[in-house]
Amino acid sequence: MNSVISYLLVLLSIATANVNSYFITVDAHAEECFFDKVETGTKMGLMFEIAEGGFLDIDVKIIGPDGKVIYQGERETSGKYTFAAHMGGVYTYCFSNKMSTMTPKVVMFNMDIGEAPSKDQDAAQAGATGQDDHNKLQDMIKELSTTLTGVKHEQEYMQVRDRIHRSINESTNSRVVMWSFFEALVLVAMIMGQVHYLKRFFEVRRVV
């Protein structure tokens, strides 16, 4: 029983090792790109969320090894896209902030790289019953790993949303305070002006 649990933990650690989370800052008029080298048929995924900056939007592009654009989005706030590699090679993920004049953007994103299809999968399926049980166990572990990865992504998403809402609340509070201060200054200026006007109005002018 202990050996089975140890085996499960090892496989889970291997399965989740290819889940990478990043926070980056993309300056105005700039573009940041990342690269992953995979084999044909590998399942890949990209999830992103704009945490700070401007209208919380950015341009996203995924390019294959042959230069083909797999996915492209403009002025997106968040998104999730999954696909299977149509050929082996280096895949490129780019976040572009070239449409912004002076505001940098903070981007949180995850790149999920699945396992490459096994070349001996058909041979393994034709094996003994013990081998079939082993394959079923691996499938269950992969499913559990996918579920854990989804939970992790949800937690990171909620953290980013909390960060965004906190930033919005702080910005709104600062604007309310500044507006209240401005209204107080205008009110004091109006009172002083009215007092001065009334004093001038009731002033008795002496004619020499």
Q: Is residue 132 part of a domain?
A: yes
Pick from 17, 26, 153: nearest CA to 94: 26
Residue 167 backbone phi and psi in degrees, to 5? -65, -40
Letter for the amino acid at 28? A
Residue 154 lies in a domain: yes
CA–CA dist 128, 136 (Å, integer): 13
pLDDT of residue 60: 95
Q: Residue 139 and residue 125: Cα distance in Å, rounded?
A: 13
Is 193 within a domain? no
For the domain that residue 34 is a member of, what is the CATH number?
2.60.120.680
Residue 187 lies in a domain: no
In a domain, 117, yes or no: yes
Number of structural domains the chain divides into: 1
Domain for residue 136, yes or no?
yes
- The per-residue pLDDT for 118 is 64
Spans of the chain, pLDDT less than 50: 1-5, 7-18, 122-126, 128
Q: Is 70 helix (H, G, I), strand (E, B) or coil?
A: strand
The beta strands (E) that lie in the chain are given as 19-26, 31-38, 43-52, 58-63, 69-76, 78-84, 89-96, 105-113
Instruction: Report yes or no on 181 lying in a domain.
Output: no
pLDDT of residue 51: 82
Q: What is the DSSP string of 76-116?
A: ESEEEEEEE-SSSEEEEEEEE-TT-SS--EEEEEEEEE-PP
Host domain of residue 29: 2-162
State the pLDDT at residue 79: 87
